[in-house]
Structure 1
Amino acid sequence: MNRKTLVLPAVVGLLAPVLAACGGTDSGSGGGDAIVVGTTDRFSATKDAPAPLDPAYSYDVGTWNILRQTVQTLMIQPKGDGDPVPEAAESCGFTDSGNERYACTLRSGLKFSNGDAITAEDVKFSIDRARAIKADSGVFALLSTIDTVETQGDDKVIFHLKTADATFPFKLSTPVAGIVNPDDYDKGKLREGFSVDGSGPYTLSAETEGDEMTRAVFTKNPNYKGTLDVKNDKVEILSFTDADAMGAALDGGDIDVMTRTMSPEQIDALSDAAADNDEDLVEVAGLEIRYLAFNTSAPVVKSKAVRQAMAQLIDRSELVSEVYGTQAEPLYSLVPATVTGHSNSFFNTYGDPSADKAKELLEEADVSTPVKLTLNYTTDHYGTATKQEFEQLQKQLNDSGLFDVSIEGAAWDTFIPAERKGEYAVYGMGWFPDFPDADNFLAPFLDKDNFLKSPYSNDEITDTLIPESRREADRLSAAANLTAIQDIVAEDVPIIPLWQGKQYVASRDDITGTAYVLNSSATLQLWELARGVSG
């Protein structure tokens, strides 16, 4: 079979209120053996994070991709991107002109995987539970605009919002809004371990070693009723320690599909391989970003001048060229270039990298040089290239003579608790959006209860610009407020955006559906996979 590299454009259009009816389907089966998908995501239940798969806690792309297969939401993002559409709901929409009252009618006949009927009270329980638990992951903030949840009969749920929120349909498509059975989930505490019960397209059986889930087995849910056409009977996600081991498994036929995170070298090799190779590479438009975040209360970076000097020195083009090649692009704002509302605020503020300008910033603030600090990064969550990336950042900052930078890596299950406790002054993170709207690249970092637990706060952003931007269903109309937020970030530098990346899926050539197995938000859509004929 000839190699095919398929590029899907990102579709990040206007957000409009949704009030539509969608019929369900249950037509797919696929048959045959389980399709095995490899990932380098690690799934751990630790003392600091004992409930990784509870929708009220989970807030990273890996665990969300487990939940999206198993826990149903009222709304869902369509496979080709665009505005969310009803899923567990038959219809949803704003019922007022101010985008402050949102009503959903449930699809008839909904059941949990155990056969229990789903009612509006179950939806209310699930949403209210996540809001009340307020897990330290910060995921509850996605529901922060909700004031009260009302039910009418068994099939109608009404959300009364504190303020206008045109992005609310998107938020109802995220796992934190997943519908769970009150018989399986305690109202006041998280569900520990790797058990998940919902009404999604699959049920989950977890295989574990110690405190890690090594294999997630998804079996088609016979009680599922929604909009998804499930094209297979069983899919497994197998967790690997690194990209090389995952690649070897694909080469050996032990897995059928390889997803995040492949190394740049693997992607290049798959792109350049001979046409008679039995593996295919698919390039998918992505909205992943990487950035440096600051604990702005830490003494070494408390001075804004230090953060501004770093922003003035970092050469994104060189960073991308040296580490990621054509697989990423420099990013000059938290909002990616393909998303409505993007502005190149950091380039507009700092221009090209300049040691002289950085020196002036530090001298004006009376900061002694070289500034000694540590850049912290995770060794196992964003791929093997992360270490190279931080070595490049270290070199750029130290070559200026203005900084004395060391770098330190830690495994994700160590890194995240330390970050949330404020132990790092400067640290590297990635962001896979909850939904493809500029609001989701700004509010999670800058709003109250932000998921980084950042001490940085700007009243104009939190009290005026974010609320005003959410009033606009036409996202082009929100651009002025969104640009103002990005300009403030470039001036205050609580975060330095670095690059935005593409997504890749590799598969054996008898696997179909890989063009849609990932959307632009890095959501795995395992129901799209099936076995075809190799050749």
Structure 2
Amino acid sequence: MNRKTLVLPAVVGLLAPVLAACGGSDGGGSDGDAIAVGTTDRFVATKKIPAPFDPAYAYDAGSWNVLRQTVQTLMAMPRSGSGEPVPEAAESCIFTDSGSERYVCTLRKDLKFASGDPVTAADVKYSIDRVRAIKSSSASYGLLSTIDTIETQGSDKVIFHLNTPDATFPYKLATPTAGIVNPDDYDKRKLRDGFEVDGSGPYTMQAEVDGDAIVKTVFTKNPHYKGQLKPKNDKVELVSFADADAMGKALEKGDIDLMTRTMSPEQINAYSTTPPKNVNLVEMPGMEIRYLGFNTTADSVRSKAVRRAMAQVVDRGELAAGVYGTTAEPLYSLVPAGITGHQNSFFNKYGDPDKAKAKQMLSQANISTPIKVTLHYTSDHYGSGTKKEFEVLQKQLNASGLFDVDIKGDKWETFRDSQLKGEYDVYGLGWFPDFPDADNFLAPFLDKDNFLATPYANSSIRGQLIPAERREADRLTASKSIQQIQNIVADDVPVLPLWQGKQYVAARDDITGVEWALSASSVLQLWELGRGVSG
């Protein structure tokens, strides 16, 4: 296929290339060999987000998907994104005790960084200890909270001593937070600012930057890579667009070959019925969830009765269908359907939306109505549907007569910084799992050092139930504790789950491997893409 040269109207001035790793891309523009993938993920390096691609800081799906192409981890999830992790930089990893507290990994032979430097057990220890020591504001280090100490034996053996049993630990070693970096390039005491990445993954990267934002990231096959992945291409370009409409037009013109996050609901519906010529839409299972979070110390929502009343009024069915159509389903727990241990705790407690019940809750707590509150959302991180979603929430809550709701959208870098500082009483966030286990839909929101920096703390959840479910290697056995946590969340409402989404990829018909481009855990697997023959 002859593709036109890609033109980005929003780019002004010269693009400055940022070379990452010695084996970086040899070219900055599109060419006939590279597969071009569109995204609306926006990668910026600012004072608020200084190091978007440092494993010690990165903690969102877009940045992680860049790291997964470039930085190796000891373990990795299977191609499907579900099931148990498999060795990646490691040749083998295993618990050596019956209590899931001692985990030993042996590295592959002759493992090298893209620079050609050898990867050693000391490098693994350095990388993970660095994340734990820096403790960045993103709170990604919470994934490694069960590590007590790390020991090395020789150049190829790493021994993790855990401070508590953790059957989910192999999953955590498969996340970019546990990515292996070269100590020569990453200071032990501070983040690596900017867009440079140096690792031992399947690709090296070169970023084309305009101002403080990336407009294109070029991934080039790493000749030194050794792992379980088998890249089916030599080069992929990840092209950032301002919105889904611009991304869709580029696909239809042939300027890009594939697009995924984040397509608009309107695009998905249109492509499902009348796809553009030579373009196919592929639907995939997904584990993305959306929810409202609460600053439980804020005056407006400090009372449990207020949060319960919101849970009683919100109509998830209307919200999901009205904004997202068939691409989303109502969610009644932080743990989505399809994950072992899921149960509909919020529906079991509140049933269908009921204004009278909500009014009674507030009356019994002696709370005057209407309750004035602002719902905050990010205007540029999850796609065009987010604003519409919050307009529906505003309408539902105000129609009850119990709330006086305003809504306000901010760009991601402002939104996330303000949310972490506790400046929002109520805010909307999404969650793409770090790994496909119920623990990862609960602990990041409820355990200490959590993703939300929430003041909410339940002693039973933190002291008993999370440790109990992590002791169980059999996740079905762990379900008893997992379901108790979900019931407590429905009772206290520190978060309010809203909907669970599906995943979609649209691609030109000469691109192969599209069905594997996104795993069930929302991992972008660029190594699966190839170029075939157009139909």
Compute the TM-score of the two structures, normalised by the length of structure 2: 0.93
User: Residues 65-214 of structure 1: matches in 2 within 5 Å?
Assistant: 65-80=65-80, 81-214=82-215
CA deviation string 1:123-150 (max 9, x = no partner): 0000100000000100000000000000
Take 1:111 and 1:266, find their aligned partners in 2: how far apart are those partners? 42
- Specify the SS of the correspondent of 1:43: coil
Determine the C-alpha separation between the residues in 1 that align with 2:454 and 2:166. 23
> Which residues of 2 match residues 344-493 of structure 1 at below 5 A?
344-493=344-493
Structure 1 stretches of at least 4 aligned residues deviating more than 6 Å after TM superposition: none
Aligned match of 2:255: 254
- Cα distance in 1 for partners of 2:487, 2:123 equals 42
What SS does the aligned partner of 2:68 have? helix
The amino acid of 1:504's aligned partner reads: Y
1:208 aligned counterpart, secondary structure: strand
For the residues of structure 2 that align with 1:128 and 1:473, how far apart are their CA atoms?
25
**Separation (CA, whole Å) in 2 of partners of 1:105 and 1:74:** 9
Distance in 2 separating the partners of 1:237 and 1:32:
15
Which residue in 1 is equivalent to 2:290? 290
Q: Write the distance in 1 (CA, Å) between the matches of 2:117 and 2:316.
A: 53
Offset, 1:199: 0.1
1: distance between equivalents of 2:245 and 2:374? Answer: 28
AA paired with 2:445?
A: F
Partner Cα distance (1:480, 1:353) in 2: 27
Aligned to 1:245: 246
| Residue 314 (structure 1) aligns with | 314
- Tell me the CA shift for residue 343 of structure 1: 1.0
Report how far residue 213 of structure 1 moved.
1.2
Partner SS for 2:216: strand
Match of 2:270 in 1: 269
Which secondary structure state, in structure 2, belongs to the residue aligned with residue 326 of structure 1?
Answer: helix
Output the CA distance in 1 between the equivalents of 2:295 and 2:247.
35
Structure 1 position 273, deviation (Å): 1.2
Which amino acid is 2:102 matched to? R
Structure 2 CA distance, aligned partners of 1:383 and 1:110? 39
Quote the residue 1:228 is aligned against.
229
Separation in structure 2 between the aligned mates of residue 149 and residue 214 of structure 1, nearest angstrom:
39
Q: Distance in 2 between matches of 1:227 and 1:514?
A: 19
Deviation of 1:277 (Å): 2.5
Q: Which residue does the alignment assign to 1:529?
A: 529
Q: Show CA shifts across 1:437-490 (max 9, x none).
A: 000000000000001100000000001000010000100001110000000000
Report the count of equivalent residues: 504
Query: Could you tell me how far 1:182 is from its partner in structure 2?
Result: 0.4
Q: What is the alpha-carbon distance in structure 2 between the residues aligned to residue 451 and residue 237 of structure 1?
A: 27
Question: What one-letter code is carried by the residue in structure 1 that aligns with 2:346?
Answer: F
Secondary structure of 1:515's counterpart equals helix
User: How far apart in 1 are the matches of 2:271 and 2:315?
Assistant: 28
SS in 2 for 1:90: strand
- 3-state SS, counterpart of residue 189 of structure 1: coil
Per-residue CA deviation, residues 265-293 of structure 1 (Å, 9 max, x unaligned), is: 1001111016x831011111100000000
Q: Does the residue aligned with 1:348 lie in a helix, a strand or coil?
A: helix
Q: What residue number does 2:501 align with?
A: 501
Could you say what secondary structure the match of 1:359 adopts? helix
Secondary structure at the counterpart of residue 176 of structure 1? helix
Please give the secondary structure, in 2, of the residue aligned with 1:324. helix
Secondary structure in structure 1 of the residue aligned to 2:477? helix
Once the two structures are TM-superposed, the CA of residue 496 in structure 1 deviates from its matched residue by 0.2
Report the counterpart of residue 19 of structure 2 in structure 1: none
1:247-282 deviations in whole A, cap 9, x for unaligned? 0110111111101110011001111016x8310111
SS in 2 for 1:375: strand
State the match for 1:328 in structure 2: 328
Describe the SS at the equivalent of 1:37. strand
Report how far residue 214 of structure 1 moved.
1.2
Structure 2 CA distance for aligned equivalents of residues 340 and 111 of structure 1? 37
Give distance in 1, aligned partners of 2:58 and 2:243.
22
Deviation track 1:374-419 (CA, whole Å, cap 9, x = no partner) reads: 0100111111011111011011100000001011111111111111
Question: 1:75 and 1:54 mapped to 2: Cα distance?
Answer: 19
Q: Please report the RMSD computed on the Cα atoms of aligned residues, expressed in angstroms.
A: 0.9
Identity %: 69
Amino acid at match of 2:479: A
Q: Using the TM superposition, name which of 209-218 and 276-285 deviates more.
A: 276-285
The residue type paired with residue 296 of structure 1 is T
Distance (Å, rounded) in 1 between the aligned partners of 2:318 and 2:231:
43
Cα-to-partner distance string for 1:287-319 (whole Å, 9 max, x where unaligned): 000000001111100011100000000010111
Deviations 1:189-234 (A, max 9, x none): 0000000000000001011011111111100000001110100000
2:14 matched to which residue of 1? Answer: none
Q: Structure 1: which 5+ runs fail to align? A: 1-30
Offset from partner CA, 1:335-370 (integer Å, 9 cap, x none): 001100001000011011100000001001111000
Aligned-partner Cα distance in 1 for 2:460–2:152: 35
Shift, 1:115, TM fit: 0.2
State the alpha-carbon separation in 2 of the partners of residues 469 and 263 from structure 1.
Answer: 37
1:32: how far off?
5.2
Paired residue type of 2:147: I
Following superposition, the deviation at residue 422 of structure 1 comes to 0.7
Give the Cα separation in 1 of the matches to 2:420 and 2:209.
Answer: 26
- Residue type matched to 1:237 in 2? L
Q: Secondary structure at the match of 2:440?
A: helix
